[in-house]
Chain A
Amino acid sequence: MTPLMYDILVAVGMGLLGAVLFSAIGLISGTDETTTIAPVTLLVVLLGVPPAGVFTFWLAAAVSKHMTHAVPTALLGIPGDTLAVPLMPQATSLRNLGVPHIALRKMISGAIIAAFLSVPLAVLFAVLLAPFGPAITSAAPWIFLAAALGVAYFSPGRWASVAALIPFVLLIVGLQTVTKGYGVSLGVSYFLGIAIGPLVADLFAILSPLDRKRMMRNAPRSFVLAPDVKSWGGHFPNPFRVLDRSQTGWTLVTATISSATFVFSPVAMTVMLGEVVGARIKHAYHRLTSVLAARNGVTEATYVAEALIPLIAFGLPLSPVAAGPAAPLFNAPPVFTINNATGEIHNLHTLMSPLEFLGYGLLAVLLAGLIAYPFAMNYARSAAAFVSRNLSHEAIIATFVGLVLVIGTWEGGALALMVIVTVGLVGGTLYRTLGLNTGVQFMGYYAAVLSVPTIAKLVTGG
């Protein structure tokens, strides 16, 4: 077997695994992309899967989860994850009109069209930006500092988030110094601590008699599952027939725009471009369905572009998605590394060519399209009912507690576990009280690792 054939086989296998696994995870409402995709991808990297397999796994997982998270959003009226929040008003209106399945179908048809479009566009933009790569890489410490401040200002916390970056970065620098004193150097533990922060903070809060009151509820949460109607023959619905011509057009236009703007947050782009489309459609029903298709296409395209462009062009995680859910593609020591002293990069950026990114990227979208798309179109209702009836939230929390303990112990024993809990508690609390979200915290981590040594050198003159 030639090396290329072997790579393709591995990529197909890993892509299928990612698509199946994350089609299922997407059905569980409230599972954040960062908390689920990042740790599992990290595991795939650390187990020594070849680069093409890692990349196909990640993209197939991200696209699949993005499709199936539309199921709870449309049918149960709860956002599948943070990216689905801007779609709630339209989805809820269609649900109340008695046609939630239409909301679902418009959303995921927009998503699959946008996903196919955004991969080649992202590769194209990355190739155009690549000549600036060396300049950007050498200025990385300053770019990350600026990015951290910018992302913080655009987070829900605004100036509070900007100001809170200082203690947060200092905390990470301090923890690194402490663990270094014991000869332990940690990377993954910080990511996990930030990603899992909201859970850690909630578990601490529930232990405190003072804060517990805020979280107590009188009754279980109630959901109304909407009825579903299948309106096509066969198994594989054609997305171009689910959307009408103007909706396909709007999806293509907005997805193209959002593919180019890789530095902004996907949520912000989704809200803004959704407004642009909504303002141009006169009829109320047509507006609802068109905005849903376009918005979900935008979240998909922004997501793909935000991961692919920095990965292909720079090898540095210079966007909210790249620093969050896609972080293990850039930095997963000891396999993928970004050396903060020399600026040397060893990750998918150096291991794969733009042409390979294009080929495996399209393969990943195809696999996700073959699995998640017909699954969400055909079995949405029974899947949503099964998950909400059989999978308790306690079970999900148990799984994540186990994950933290295993990965922490693996990376640095008890010391790493303490770091995860510290970062998680501080980060999670800052998220809840100030609105310093996980994206800002990831940028803060990079600022601590890359910018702080440079600034320190400048200040001390060393």
Chain B
Amino acid sequence: MEHRLSDPPAAPGIGAKQYAEVWGDTVDLKDLGKAVVIGGVIALACYLIAGRILLGYAPTAQIARTYAMLFGLLGCVGAGALCARLFAPKRDLSEAELDDSWRDETLAALAEGGRFGRTEDLPPAVQAEMKELGLYDTFVRYEAVLRQAEAKNP
């Protein structure tokens, strides 16, 4: 890249990604700029070029224009595929194992409204489902804890 005198002195973080949240997800501003140009140019070029060529073949100008739009849409998809290859997603995906503290927090949150219920009162089908998921014992144990707490502070 060309270096200009007006550029700030090199510092850690230069050339680093500039993350921003646009339309519901994170992007890098430089990549976003390139993607917008690529998407616009490819799609519009496909539409205009297809329109020129089809005008010679289609029975009416109206039909030529409509099919040119289909090519334009294919251009959009193509531009999207190209950008997907060029720019990596700015997402941090981990496949962490379940954190037990979340489980306890969730149980506490569920009990907050005072309506936790009793697992033994559930229909057998639901109890079986909970056993299969390994949640049966978790809930029964937590219900006992709740009952004890209730006995202490009625």
A interface list, Cβ under 8 A from B: 29-30, 43, 46-48, 93, 96-99, 102, 198-199, 202-203, 206, 212, 215-227, 231, 244-246, 281-288, 385, 388-403, 405-407, 409-410
Q: Given A225, A231, A245, A398, which contacts B39 in the complex, CB threshold below 8 Å?
A: A398
Asked whether, in the complex, the Cβ of A388 is within 8 Å of the Cβ of B110, the reply is no
Contact A284 B28 (CB under 8 A): no
- Majority SS at the chain A contact face: helix
B77: A residues at CB distance < 8 A: 399
Contact A93 B22 (CB under 8 A): no
30 contacts across the A-B interface (CB closer than 8 A): A29-B24, A30-B24, A96-B102, A98-B98, A99-B135, A198-B23, A203-B36, A217-B21, A221-B21, A223-B91, A224-B93, A281-B117, A282-B117, A285-B135, A286-B126, A385-B93, A392-B90, A393-B26, A394-B35, A394-B83, A397-B22, A398-B83, A399-B76, A399-B79, A401-B43, A402-B76, A402-B80, A409-B47, A410-B68, A410-B72
Contact A206 B20 (CB under 8 A): yes
Quick check: B89 and A284 within 8 Å, CB to CB? Answer: no
**CB-contact partner of A220 in B73, B92, B98, B115, under 8 A:** B92
B residues 33-85 near A (Cβ < 8 Å) are: 34-36, 38-40, 42-44, 46-48, 65-70, 72-73, 75-77, 79-84
What chain B residues lie within 8 Å of A48 (beta carbons)?
66
Contact A244 B123 (CB under 8 A): yes
When distances are taken between beta carbons in the complex, the residues of chain B under 8 Å from A102 are 133
Q: Which residues of A contact B24 (CB under 8 A)?
A: 29-30, 393
B2 at the interface (CB under 8 A from A): no
Q: Are B121 and A282 in contact (CB under 8 A)?
A: yes
Q: How far is the CB of B46 from chain A (nearest CB, A)?
A: 8
Which of B46, B111, B116: most chain A Cβ within 10 A? B116
Between A and B, how many residue pairs show CB distances below 8 Å?
Answer: 236
Shortest 10 CB-CB distances between A and B: which pairs? A402-B43, A398-B39, A283-B117, A406-B72, A399-B80, A402-B76, A222-B92, A30-B24, A395-B83, A394-B35
Contact B116 A284 (CB under 8 A): yes
Smallest beta-carbon distance A419→chain B, Å: 17
Residue in chain A with minimal CB distance to B85: A395
Supposing A394-B31, A397-B27 touch, asked if A202 and B47 sit within 8 A by C-beta, the answer is no
Contact, CB under 8 Å: A392 / B40? no
| Chain B neighbourhood of A396, CB < 8 A | 25, 80
**B130→A285 contact, CB < 8 A:** yes
Contacts of A409 in B (CB 8 A): 44, 47-48, 72
CB distance from A14 to the nearest CB of B (A): 14
| Residues in B lying within 8 Å of A, measured CB to CB | 18-29, 31-32, 34-36, 38-40, 42-44, 46-48, 65-70, 72-73, 75-77, 79-84, 87-98, 102-103, 105-107, 109-111, 115-119, 121-123, 125-126, 129-130, 132-135, 138-139
Please, which residues of chain A bring their CB within 8 A of the CB of B75? Answer: 402, 406
Q: Known: A96-B102, A223-B94, A283-B122. Contact between A406 and B69, CB under 8 A? A: yes
Q: A48-B66, A406-B75 are in contact. Are A216 and B116 (CB under 8 A)?
A: no
